[in-house]
């Protein structure tokens, strides 16, 4: 009987841990999604920076430089969000 109770308690505790770690999986998917978005924005920033570098006139260079800066800021924001989601995921299994 004691063995059955101990196994039941152990089972309930492991189910509780598993339920908490379901949030971990959610947060890790958010990390991946944010990292993918950050990569896309970084590529956009790079493409616009190249366009600014090779622009034929100052107006185009400024236009593409601004677009590059905006995309770089978005990439940084997404990377920061990925870091935050990772931290949330780690703390969700405590």
Domain positions in the chain: 23-92
What is the per-residue pLDDT for 21? 67
- Count the residues in the chain: 94
Distances (CA, A) of 45 to 8, 24, 57: 55, 31, 19
Per-residue pLDDT band for 89 (boundaries 50, 70, 90) equals confident
pLDDT in tens, 2-33: 454 444 554 544 444 444 566 888 888 999 99
Question: Does pTM top 0.85 for this prediction?
Answer: no
Q: How high is the pLDDT of residue 92?
A: 78
């Amino acid at each position: 009987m004691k063995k059955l109770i101990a196994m039941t308690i152990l089972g309930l505790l492991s189910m509780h841990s598993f339920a908490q770690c379901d949030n971990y999986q959610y947060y890790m998917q958010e990390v991946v999604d944010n990292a993918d978005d950050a990569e896309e924005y970084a590529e956009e920033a790079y493409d616009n920076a190249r366009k600014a570098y090779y622009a034929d006139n100052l107006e185009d260079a400024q236009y593409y430089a601004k677009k590059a800066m905006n995309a770089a800021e978005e990439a940084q924001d997404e990377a920061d969000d990925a870091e935050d989601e990772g931290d949330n995921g780690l703390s969700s299994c405590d």
